């Protein structure tokens, strides 16, 4: 078993599924000879040819809309948006069409497509290259939203996403693409969608996160552990449909919850989880829920980025604040 990075795991899952299923096609800007600007589609053109690995014109609404048409015709398109900052132009298609094709036609047509995109900041990139649009996608009925945080989960969840008979928005944490390696068996085993992963057990507080903030959250749990505080860490992984039961069960045990995201706070996915707790977990809460999020501002250019992204220190502080309640 090879030690690979997250982006290599994505690549591996794509290869595996293109090999398994001739209906799988990949499309997007620069996904062909270049292998994608992050090399997620490296080597696919050589193996499967430019008809199945499609360099599209520069047009995001087209990429999404075309994938919908392909999917309704029985292909399984895996479309890439080069950066999530350019994905807003696809919202119309995803919301008005991908998420509705099955519903609208009473199941006569369906839309088994995946829309992949790198998300999140921390790579000192230009404007629009550090977006965290997960909440917008998670608001859309009829789709799934998945956001892995490790090579192994990326591999298994992407396989699941491609095989899923409905549209999946698959968000990839750019700054984890090459941050660390993990052993990943290329065994073609998909992971279950719609389920959280409990990465670490603990009885004092529940830390909930997804995608790029998971390593930072684990680091915060380490630091808390050093201080004698046992934090449970949950990786939500599939944001929609949300496995809220796992979060509720954990908080029922710990009584305290910190939710971590790098998206701007208002109407973030952290708010959704906090709302679920206020509604279904209130009686178990021993302290106010803590949202550790980015501020409600535009992601600044790189010089100020470290002030914008929530880090370990803010997570630890939030957990301790929650623990300070008697």
Ligand X SMILES: Cc1ncc(C[n+]2csc(CCOP(=O)(O)OP(=O)(O)O)c2C)c(N)n1
Q: Which residues bind ligand X (CB under 6 A)?
A: 29, 58, 60, 82, 86
The number of C-alpha atoms within 13 Å of 154 and in the hemisphere containing its C-beta is 32
Pairing label, strands 238-240, 144-146 = antiparallel
- String of contacts with its own copies for each residue 64-103, x by CB under 8 A: ---------------------xx-xx-xx--xx--xx--x
Residue tagged 């910190």 (tokens): 258
Q: Contact at 8 Å (CB) between 239 and 210?
A: yes
Helices 6-20, 151-163: crossing angle, 10 deg rounding: 30
| Residue 117 host element (H or E) | strand 114-119
Answer for which of 47, 124, 128, 306 binds its own copies (CB under 8 A) is 128
Residues 188-217 that bind other proteins (CB under 8 A): 194
Instruction: For ligand X, give the closer residue by CB, 29 or 262.
Output: 29
Instruction: For its own copies, give the closer residue by CB, 142 or 215.
Output: 142
C-alpha span between 173 and 179 (Å, rounded): 10
* Residue 129 annotated to the active site: yes
Instruction: For ligand X, give the closer residue by CB, 120 or 156.
Output: 120
Q: Is 102 in the site for other proteins (CB under 8 A)?
A: yes
Residues 36-65 that bind other proteins (CB under 8 A): 37, 51-52, 54-62, 64-65
Considering CB distances under 5 to 8 angstroms, the limit depending on partner class, which of ligand X, other proteins, its own copies, none binds residue 307? Answer: other proteins
Angle at 231 between CA 272 and CA 244, to 5 degrees: 30
In the numeric block, which tokens belong to residue 88? Answer: 């807003």
C-alpha span between 192 and 238 (Å, rounded): 9
For 124-149, give the DSSP string: ---TTSS---HHHHHTSTT-EEE---
Answer for which of 62, 109, 123, 267 binds its own copies (CB under 8 A) is 267
The set of catalytic residues is 129
Binding positions for its own copies, rule: CB under 8 A: 61, 85-86, 88-89, 91-92, 95-96, 99-100, 103-104, 127-128, 135-136, 138-139, 141-142, 240-242, 263-264, 266-272, 274-275, 277-280, 282-283, 285, 287-291, 296-298
């Amino acid at each position: 078993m090879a030690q690979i990075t997250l982006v290599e795991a994505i690549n591996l899952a794509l290869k595996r599924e293109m090999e398994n299923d001739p209906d799988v096609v990949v499309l997007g800007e620069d996904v062909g000879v270049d292998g994608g600007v992050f090399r997620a589609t490296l080597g696919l053109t050589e193996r499967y040819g430019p008809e199945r690995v499609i360099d599209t014109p520069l047009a995001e609404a087209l990429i999404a809309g075309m994938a919908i048409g392909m999917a309704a015709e029985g292909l399984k398109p895996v479309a890439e948006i080069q950066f999530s900052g350019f994905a807003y132009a696809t919202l119309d298609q995803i919301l008005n069409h991908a998420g509705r094709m099955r519903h609208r036609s009473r199941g006569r047509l369906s839309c088994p497509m995946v829309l992949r995109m790198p998300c999140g900041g921390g790579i000192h990139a230009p404007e629009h290259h550090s977006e965290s649009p997960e909440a917008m996608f998670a608001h859309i009925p009829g789709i799934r939203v998945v956001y892995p945080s490790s090579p192994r989960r990326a591999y298994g969840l992407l396989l699941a996403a491609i095989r899923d008979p409905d549209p999946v928005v698959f968000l990839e944490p750019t700054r984890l693409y090459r941050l660390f390696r993990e052993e990943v068996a290329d065994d073609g085993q998909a992971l279950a969608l719609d389920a959280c992963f409990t990465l670490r057990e603990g009885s004092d507080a529940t830390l909930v996160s997804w995608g790029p903030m998971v390593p930072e959250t684990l680091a915060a749990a380490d630091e808390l552990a050093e201080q004698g505080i046992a934090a449970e860490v949950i990786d939500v992984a599939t944001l929609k449909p949300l496995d809220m039961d796992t979060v509720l069960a954990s908080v029922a045990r710990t009584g305290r919850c910190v939710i971590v995201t790098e998206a701007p706070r208002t109407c973030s996915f952290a708010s959704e989880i906090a709302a679920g707790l206020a509604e279904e977990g209130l009686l178990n809460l021993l302290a106010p829920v803590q949202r550790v999020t980015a501020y409600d501002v535009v992601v600044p250019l790189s010089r100020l980025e470290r002030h914008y992204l929530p880090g370990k220190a803010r997570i630890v502080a939030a957990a301790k604040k929650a623990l300070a309640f008697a």
